[in-house]
Amino acid sequence: MTTMPVSRNVSVTIRFGVIRSGLIRLLKLLPWLVIASLPLVLAGYEPLATQIFVMILFALSLDLLVGYAGIVTLGHAGLFGMGGYTAGILSVHGITDPLVTALCAMAVAAFTGLVFGVAMLRTKGLTLLMLTMASAALLYEIANKATGLTGGEDGLQGVAFSPLLGVFAFDFRGKTAFFYSLTVLFLVFSFVQVLINSPFGWSLRGIRENDARMAAIGCPIMRRRVIAYVIAAALAGLAGALQAQTTQFVALHSLGFELSGNILIMLILGGSGRLYGAFIGCPVFMLAQDQLAKQDPANWFLGLGVILIAFVMLAPGGILGIAARTVDAIKMRRRA
């Protein structure tokens, strides 16, 4: 066995890694710049694009849980709605700065995530799944009954936000909303990438793959999962606040089971556990929904259900999973 020059190996790895990541970072900025220049080419699609950005952000927060920490939740809309209602209610009561209300929304959603997380994450499997649903249902019921605060079934009336940074007003054409949500999405995505590649992110993957082994190496599993849940909650709350700010409206459906289900489907369609999955699944789903669901809700459900079943039985891993397997197959054939 040859002796490995250990320290040289490590420093080469680090230095090479830094150069590579610098180049890659420049390449990765490109699509963002392309998307940012879209309003120059296509007018009138800003509102739809904004909604897509909001959903991608929401789906990213879900991916942290489902794709990395291994926590399957059907109640993530509860945190989205908490953020939305926080931002909306603050604006109704005079606090209208978008950035301030967004931060408050994140804080409230994070706190909600902490409380529910500590209560729920000691359970697992079907019990945990049920509790995630119950947590969102509980919040929905509270919002439903507290009509004085939330407007109940009619939704929150009188939501209005002051111009972003004091300069950019949220106008009808939605240009401010477009760039605002795109910027926030970019910042969050960068943060999530750092998180995934941190020791914390790796330990989440370990917990997902073999939690018994993680316990055996001294990992405080509950603590890590709760932290992941709180971070995901804060980001979901941010998405909810963004939606309130860009649509100037908050309603009960932002806490609803249908939204929790939809965002999970969007994530899975693109592929969970691969950060780009959200970027593929959300536009595909939302564009399809925009075209098909209004015409015929029953057939939309039918098609969606069939696609889901087909995906699970034939193509786990979503669109990115299919892409990855195709690339692997090509590589295999080249080697042979």
Partner 1 sequence: MTTLITILFFGVAYGMILYLISVGLSVTMGLMGFVNLAHGVFAMLGGYATVTLMNRIGIAFLPALAIGCVLVAVLGFVLERTLYRHLYGRSELDQVLFSFGLILVSVALVRIAWGPVAQPIRLPDYLKGQVTIFDLALPAYRLALVGFGTAVIAGLWFAFDRTLFGARIRAAVDNRAMAQSIGINTSRLFAAAFGLGTGLAALGGGLGADVLAIAPGYPLQYIIYFLIVVAVGGLGNIKGPFVAALAIGLSDTACRYFLPEAGSIFIFAFVFAVLIWRPNGIMERR
Partner 2 sequence: METAALETRALNCSFEANHVITDVNFTLRPGERRALIGPNGAGKTTFVNLLTGRLRVSSGHVLLNGEDVTQLSEARRIRLGIGRTFQITSLFPKMTVRENVFLAVAECDGIAGNLFRSVFSHGRQLARVDELVHRVGLSDVADVPAQLLPYGRQRLLEIAVALALRPTILLLDEPAAGIPTAESHVILDIIATLPKEIAVLLIDHDMDLVFRFAQQISVLVRGSILVEGSPDDIAADSQVREVYLGDSKHGRPAAA
CA pair distance 322, 126, nearest whole angstrom: 28
Q: Cβ(203)–Cβ(219) under 8 Å?
A: yes
Is 299 a binder of partner 1 (CB under 8 A)?
yes
Q: Which of 11, 127, 157, 197 binds partner 1 (CB under 8 A)?
A: 127
* Closer CB to partner 1, 17 or 305, in the complex: 305
Reduce the DSSP state of residue 164 to 3 states and report it.
strand
Tell me if 227 contacts partner 1 by CB under 8 A.
Answer: no
Q: Binder to partner 1 among 66, 156, 236, 244 (CB under 8 A)?
A: 66
3-state DSSP assignment of residue 311: helix
Query: CA torsion 285→288→293→299, rounded to 10°?
Result: -100
Residue 235: which of 177, 298, 191 has the closest Cα? 191
Q: How far is the CB of 78 from partner 2 (least distance, A)?
A: 24
Give every CB contact of residue 145 below 8 A, 6+ residues apart in sequence.
152
Give the 3-state secondary structure of residue 57: helix
Choice between 17 and 158, CB closer to partner 2 = 17
Q: Indicate the residue among 27 and 216 with the shorter CB distance to partner 2.
A: 216
Taking the C-alpha atoms of residue 294 and residue 256, their distance in angstroms, rounded to an integer, is 19
The smaller minimum CB distance to partner 2, of residues 159 and 235, is found at 235
Residue 195 binds which of partner 2, partner 1, none (CB < 5-8 A, kind-dependent): partner 2
Residue with tokens 């931002």, as numbered in its chain: 87
Number of residues in the chain: 336
Out of 5, 125, 166, 218, the residue judged to bind partner 1 by CB under 8 A: 125
At closest approach, how far in Å is the CB of 124 from partner 1? 8
Q: Which of 51, 277, 311, 319 is the binder for partner 1 (CB under 8 A)?
A: 311
CA angle 139, 96, 260 (to 5 degrees): 30
Report the residue number, 228 or 242, with the smaller CB distance to partner 1: 228
Tell me whether residue 71 or residue 235 sits nearer to partner 1 (CB atom).
71
Q: Which residues pair with 250 in a beta bridge?
A: 156
Residues forming contacts to partner 2 in the complex (CB under 8 A) are 1, 4, 6-7, 9-11, 13-14, 17, 194-195, 197-203, 205-206, 209-210, 212-220, 224, 227
Choose the one of partner 1, partner 2, none that binds residue 47, judging by a C-beta under 5 to 8 angstroms depending on kind: none
The nearer residue to partner 1, 78 or 174, going by C-beta atoms, is 78
CA dist list (Å): 82 to 90, 139, 319: 12, 8, 31
Closer of 98 and 113 to partner 1 (Cβ): 113
The residues, any chain, with a CB within 8 Å of residue 311's CB and separated by 6 or more, are 268, 269, 318
Q: Retrieve residue 233's tokens.
A: 């909650």
Choose among partner 2, partner 1, none what residue 327 binds, the Cβ cut-off being 5 to 8 Å by kind: none
The tokens describing 219, both together, are: 């990992």
Query: Using only C-alpha atoms, what is the Rg of the chain?
Result: 21
Scanning 35-43, 90-98, 161-169, 307-315 for contacts with partner 1 by CB under 8 A, the matching segment is 307-315
Does 210 sit near partner 1 (CB under 8 A)?
no
User: Which residues would be at the binding site for partner 1 (CB under 8 A)?
Assistant: 66, 72, 74, 119-120, 122-123, 125-127, 129-131, 133-135, 137-138, 141-142, 144-145, 257-258, 261, 264-265, 268, 272, 298-302, 304-309, 311-313, 316
